[in-house]
Amino acid sequence: MCGNESVTNTTAELYATSFGIDKLIKIVKVNEKGKIKFSFKESNVIGKNYYLKFYDKCLILANNCINIRYISLPTELLITNLSGYKHYRLGTINLIHKDIFHFTRKIHTEKRCDLYNNLLPD
């Protein structure tokens, strides 16, 4: 969300990071309702964290600028999940704030004006 508006026409990239190395897992499109839906399966490796790299224009007035947000994925522990896989729930995130620290979720924002033409779909 950007205030009361859904953020649409953008992409998010899912990354796994382990021991300082980032690995792109999946590129996800945001649908017309502003929702991100994806699934992936990776074993529960100790020391591996996941985050979304999200591109948006929330509160950006310049045409050639974009926000890049790094959203850490909080782990939701499931007692009934004996498979060793992690389960994540993001919920609704309001993108008006630059940096957000909410329980286990951390969001960091960078404003970039040199990458815009290469990142958002037409």
Is 15 a member of any domain? yes
In the block, residue with structure tokens 């045409």: 63
Is 4 a member of any domain? no
Is 3 a member of any domain? no
| pLDDT at residue number 27 | 86
Q: What is the pLDDT along the chain (122 residues), one digit of tens a residue?
A: 666 677 767 778 888 887 788 889 888 887 777 777 776 666 655 667 788 888 877 777 767 788 788 888 765 544 445 555 555 666 666 565 565 655 555 777 777 777 655 555 54
Range of the domain at 104: 11-119
| pLDDT at residue number 11 | 79
Q: What b/e readout covers 86-111, taking b as 16+ CB neighbours within 10 angstroms?
A: beeeeeebebeeeebeeeeeebebee
Could you give the C-alpha distances from 26 to 13, 93, 116, in angstroms and in order? 6, 20, 20
Please state the domain count of the chain: 1
pTM for the complete prediction? 0.66
| pLDDT at residue number 35 | 74
